[in-house]
Amino acid sequence: MNQTLRYIGKKLLWTIPILLGITLLAFALGLIARGDPAVNRASADPDYIPTEEEIQALREELGLDDPVLIQYGRWLGGVLRGDLGRSLIDDKPVLDELLRLLPNTLLLSVLALAVIAAAGLLGGICLSLFRDSFLDVAGRVVLVFLMSVPGFCMAYFMIWLFAQKLRVLPTSGADGPENFIMPCLAVAIGSACVVIRLLRSSILGEMGKNYVLTAQAKGLRRGQIILRHVLRNALTPSVTYAANAFGGLLGGSMITESVFSIPGIGSYALTAISKRDYTAIQGYVLFTGFAFVLVCLLADLICAWLNPKIRLGG
Amino acid sequence: MKKKRVMFILALAVLLAFLFVGVAADLIAPWDPNAVDMANSLAGPSRAHWLGTDHLGRDLLSRLIYGSRSSVFIAFFATGCTLLVGMTIGLVSGWLGGWPDQLIQSVVNIFQGIPSTAFVVAVLGLLGPGMRSLLIAIVVSSWAGFSRIVRNQVLEVREQHYIEGARAMGAGGLYIVRRHILPNILLPLLVLIATRIGSTVLTVAAMSYLGLGLRAPASDWGIMINDAKLYYIRYFPVLLAPAACLTLFCLSINLIADYLRDRLDHDDGAARML
């Protein structure tokens, strides 16, 4: 128990410098942005050409003349208070906008994770249970093909099939649950295929171990051995991979959101980029980075729970 | 195993074919990829246009061929640059050990803390679209993963007895890295390099699709898919052709990586990485 707590504590402590580093990186990305944000904002109205004095005043208002470290400190202070700054274009608080758009992205990511987990577990166990049978061989051919189809090609193909030809699903928007079926599949299928393959190969890798021999000697059937003994040990790489995919999705899948016109974090970032809104881009990088790191931390803890060797091994 | 070998050779042939088509685009392409012919827009396959034309009447096959040039070449070049940066940093980190290693690894951790698509998009957004920005964005967002794996490999290899032997014979650090460590980590890295080329092609296509990658008149498969999104209902091949090329490319990369992974079948980081 003590060692477990120590493991969790260590993991948590290690996360802090990484999060700090991400704030630094997000800030630096903003710094190297091309163009002068003061000019950008002052010239947001295309019919009006700002004078040099107005630009200078705005620059002072935004604190762009201060030394870099002071700017970082001020920005970090804001971040810690939950203030990611205001959009340079429409002056709305970045965090509020991100939180407003989060539910759509969150829904999409959670649904995708559910698909990945369900398909991964089911597929991985089935294929390893019927190793080298027709199911396994054919299944692997399908998997390697499906994981090679890029997500956005899959998205368009599904729109063509389900929305244009069969007319069973809507093409775009985020009004109801039926709007999320295709986007969710588009982002989940590739990762699901990878997880199935990963799980299959790690289950088969475990099958050669001595404890499996023991279980066989006790007279357990192959299915029982896999479900009761092997699965828990074989799950870690798949959990890590799925968590990576989920963490990435939380940052908004820009392409899927833009193909299906879902207003989410990804489309927010795209708008920010097309308008050179560097506080918004900073906020976006920070937000996705934090989400990603925290999801990966959670995955590490789940792996340690699944496999005590990880937490006890030091 | 034999069947896998056949698949591997087939996949390699497909990959080389893409490369060849890219190199010889000027010779092979039957049309200028940007020659507009509005009278002939979205035309079906004919003797003049084997795959038909897109919404501006441009020859689809020629656009695919030139698209293969940009997509495949950027992917190879960007992966090469990433490999160079990541491997150098990983080698230094793993070889030096101690506090420099810790320092570099914390930087690596930070760079890995941001999902790569978000990272690429953010860098592209800040640098503006274009080929150069695309290269920078890809290298900046993916060197860290590479260097971590190289570093772990180095840590493993440097404990081997032959390294100790070389050192006992008076070999210098640089010599050992070049003659003993590099050749030993390169083979397991092949899998990683292969998968990286595949994912870079996808990144390039995705960014071009979003309008953050290449700019007209340059064109790649991502731009073709973007062009097709309003017209594929009238003539499906405008979407299918570039999508099929992307899929075929990734499929061959995945098959190559699978084969290499099986052959190397080390239970180490590089082989397990997908």
Chain A residues within an 8 Å CB radius of B211: 274
Chain A residues within an 8 Å CB radius of B236: 160
For testing contact with chain A, the best of B7, B117, B235 (most A CBs within 10 A): B117
Which amino acid is located at A235 in the chain?
Answer: L
Highest mean pLDDT among A53-62, A116-125, A159-168, B34-43 belongs to: A116-125
Q: Torsions phi, psi of B220, nearest 5?
A: -145, -175
Residues 178-217 of B with CB under 8 A from A: 202, 205-206, 209-212
CA closest to A159 among chain B residues: B233
- Tens place of pLDDT for every residue, chain B, 274 residues? 677 788 899 999 999 999 999 888 888 877 788 777 777 777 777 777 777 777 777 888 888 888 888 888 888 999 999 999 999 999 999 988 889 999 999 899 999 988 888 889 888 888 888 888 899 999 999 999 899 999 988 888 888 888 888 888 888 888 888 888 888 888 778 888 998 999 899 999 999 888 888 877 778 888 888 888 888 888 888 889 999 999 999 999 999 998 888 887 654 444 444 4
Taking the CA atoms of residue B250, residue A105, residue A32 and residue B221 in that order, the dihedral angle to the nearest 10 degrees is 30
Which amino acid is located at B129 in the chain?
Answer: P
Per-residue CA distances from A128 to A121, A208, A223, A234, A237 (Å):
11, 13, 10, 12, 16
As a whole number of angstroms, the distance between CA A149 and CA B88 comes to: 32
Over the stretch A279-307, which tens digit does the pLDDT of each residue have?
888 889 999 999 999 999 999 999 988 88
| C-alpha Rg value of chain A to the nearest Å | 24
B239 vs A: CB within 8 A: yes
pLDDT of residue A19: 92
As a whole number of angstroms, the distance between CA B105 and CA A163 comes to: 48
More confident of the two residues A86 and A20: A20
Burial B98-116 (b: 16+ CB within 10 A, else e): eeebeebbeebbbbbbbbb
Strands (E), chain A: none
pLDDT of residue B273: 42
Q: Indicate yes or no: CB of A34 within 8 angstroms of CB of B243.
A: no
B102 vs A: CB within 8 A: no
Question: Helices (H), strands (E): how many in chain B?
Answer: 12, 0
CA closest to A244 among chain B residues: B115
Chain A residues within an 8 Å CB radius of B122: 29, 269, 273, 281, 284-285
Burial class of residue B240 in the structure, from the number of CB atoms within 10 Å of its CB (0-12 exposed, 13-18 middle, 19+ buried)? buried
Selection from B78, B76, B81, B79 nearest residue B19 by Cα:
B76
Residues 6+ apart with CB under 8 A from B108: B89, B93, B144, B147, B148, B151
DSSP string, B4-52: HHHHHHHHHHHHHHHHHHHHTHHHH-SS-TT---GGGTT----SSSTT-
Q: Indicate yes or no: CB of B109 within 8 angstroms of CB of A18.
A: yes
Please state which of the four CATH numbers 3.30.43.10, 1.10.3720.10, 3.30.360.10, 2.40.50.320 is assigned to the domain occupying A94-311.
Answer: 1.10.3720.10
- pLDDT at residue A58 greater than cutoff 80: no
pLDDT of residue B270: 40
Chain A residues within an 8 Å CB radius of B121: 254, 269-270, 273
B123 vs A: CB within 8 A: yes
Burial A218-251 (b: 16+ CB within 10 A, else e): eebebeebbeebbbebbbbbbbbbbbbbbbbbbb
Q: Indicate yes or no: CB of A270 within 8 angstroms of CB of B274.
A: no
CATH number of the domain at B2-29+49-273, please?
Answer: 1.10.3720.10
Q: Please, are residues A216 and A225 in contact by the beta-carbon 8 Å criterion? A: yes
Over the stretch A164-211, which tens digit does the pLDDT of each residue have?
888 888 877 777 778 888 999 999 999 999 999 999 999 998 988 899
Over the stretch A7-34, which tens digit does the pLDDT of each residue have?
888 889 889 989 999 998 888 887 776 4
Q: Indicate yes or no: CB of B118 within 8 angstroms of CB of A269.
A: yes
Most distant CA atoms of chain A, gap in Å: 86
Residue B247 is nearest to which of A150, A194, A259, comparing CB atoms? Answer: A150
- pLDDT at residue A264 greater than cutoff 50: yes
SS3 A309: helix
CA closest to A297 among chain B residues: B113
pLDDT of residue A38: 60
Domain boundaries, chain B: 2-29+49-273
Per-residue CA distances from A77 to A73, A83, A295 (Å):
6, 8, 24
DSSP symbol at B53: B
As a whole number of angstroms, the distance between CA B267 and CA B271 comes to: 7
Q: Indicate yes or no: CB of B115 within 8 angstroms of CB of A248.
A: yes
Report the mean per-residue pLDDT for chain A.
85
On whether the pTM is more than 0.95, the answer is no
Q: Sign of dihedral through CA atoms B2, B4, B9, B10?
A: positive
Residue B113 is nearest to which of A22, A255, A272, comparing CB atoms? Answer: A22
State how far residue A11 is from chain B, nearest Cα, in angstroms: 13
Q: Which two tokens stand for residue B208?
A: 């071009």
Q: Indicate yes or no: CB of B126 within 8 angstroms of CB of A281.
A: yes
- A95 membership: H or E segment, kind and range: helix A94-129
pLDDT of residue A33: 65
DSSP string, A43-92: TSSTT-PPPHHHHHHHHHHTTTTS-HHHHHHHHHHHHHTT---B-TTT--
Q: Indicate yes or no: CB of A285 within 8 angstroms of CB of B122.
A: yes
Q: Which two tokens stand for residue A55?
A: 């630009």
Q: Indicate yes or no: CB of B225 within 8 angstroms of CB of A254.
A: no
Selection from A146, A134, A91 nearest residue A280 by Cα:
A91
Residue B274 is nearest to which of A198, A255, A274, comparing CB atoms? Answer: A198
As a whole number of angstroms, the distance between CA A198 and CA A239 comes to: 10
Q: Indicate yes or no: CB of A276 within 8 angstroms of CB of B125.
A: yes
